[in-house]
């Protein structure tokens, strides 16, 4: 199975980590923003990453791809069958893909993507406003729900909720941002633990090495 996209995208990273946790081998073919690669464009009608090709079968959108992988490789289950646990898992994925992603993207786009990938200045006022006004209440929410010790967000095992919520924090970490140990200690410890898993750690190390090579 081919997964198109760069793991610097939280959506691509979420799918790669999800597949790794399931032991599914994905051939990650890197494509960039607005990439003209015809195979990628055929799998992603609107040019967004990630996109999947499984033989002749093509699919875009990280959540659609994740549900496809979960149905195709049910074990280990990362989307619980129990109605209450499943509902919460999907809530956390949605929270991560919309509220958390949108805030992180305003910072990451303007401080990293625009200047370093697109060769134009970002809007620091937008980034600063997101960091100052949007991020703290998101972290306050997570601090109220984050598990302590070795726990997980939903139930007593790793689920899609943990993978989805942790993923955008890697982008924040690339900018030296995230939960701090004074105000959000549970969130900080929890996110660090999830991102240190073998499903995430090599991706993030590769992204950091790639970012280091791109001049600021
Ligand atoms: N809902 C989609 C969002 C995908 C998305 O917006 N990806 C971004 C990268 S983080 C992208 O490809 N942007 C390029 C564009 O919008 O042209 C998903 O979950 O896959």
Mutational test site, ligand 1, from 33, 48, 65, max ligand atoms within 8 Å of CB: 48
Q: What is the pLDDT of residue 215?
A: 75
| 154 within some domain | yes
Q: How many domains in the chain?
A: 2
111 and 38 within one domain: no
- Digit-coded pLDDT (tens) for 142-191: 999 999 999 999 999 999 999 999 999 999 999 999 999 999 999 999 99
64 and 103 within one domain: no
Q: 27, 45, 72 — which closes off a domain? A: 72
Tell me how far apart the alpha carbons of residues 144 and 146 are, in angstroms, rounded to a whole number: 6
The mean pLDDT of 24-45, rounded to a whole number, is 96
- Digit-coded pLDDT (tens) for 99-147: 999 999 999 999 999 999 999 999 999 999 999 999 999 999 999 999 9
46 and 25 within one domain: yes
Domain span holding position 120: 83-213
Task: Quickly state the pLDDT bin for 11 (edges 50, 70, 90).
Answer: very high
Name the pTM for this structure. 0.97
Mean pLDDT, rounded, of the chain: 97
What element of type H or E holds 52?
strand 51-54
Residues with CB under 6 A from ligand 1: 9, 11, 33-34, 47-50, 61-63, 97
115 and 209 within one domain: yes
- CB neighbour list of residue 152: distance below 8 Å, 6 or more residues apart: 158, 159, 161, 162
What CATH number is given to the structural domain containing 115?
1.20.1050.10
Q: Yes or no: say if 18 and 160 are a contact pair by the CB < 8 Å rule.
A: yes
What CATH number is given to the structural domain containing 35?
3.40.30.10
């Amino acid at each position: 199975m081919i997964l198109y996209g760069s793991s610097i995208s939280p959506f691509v990273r979420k799918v790669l980590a999800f597949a790794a946790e399931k032991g599914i081998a994905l051939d990650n073919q890197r494509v960039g923003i607005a990439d003209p690669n015809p195979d990628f464009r055929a799998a992603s009608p609107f040019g967004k990453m990630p996109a999947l090709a499984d033989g002749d079968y093509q699919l875009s959108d990280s959540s659609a791809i994740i549900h496809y992988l979960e149905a195709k490789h049910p074990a280990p289950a990362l989307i619980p069958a129990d109605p209450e646990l499943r509902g919460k898992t999907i809530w956390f994925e949605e929270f991560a893909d919309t509220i958390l992603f949108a805030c992180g993207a305003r910072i990451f786009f303007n401080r990293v993507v625009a200047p370093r990938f697109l060769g134009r200045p970002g809007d620091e006022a937008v980034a600063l406003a997101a960091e100052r006004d949007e991020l703290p209440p998101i972290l306050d929410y997570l601090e109220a729900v984050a598990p302590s010790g070795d726990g997980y967000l939903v139930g007593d095992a790793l689920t899609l909720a943990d993978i989805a919520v942790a993923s955008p924090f890697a982008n924040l970490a690339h900018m030296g941002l995230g939960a701090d140990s004074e105000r959000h200690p549970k969130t900080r410890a929890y996110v660090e633990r999830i991102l240190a898993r073998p499903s995430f750690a090599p991706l993030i190390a590769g992204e950091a090495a790639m970012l280091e090579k791109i001049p600021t």
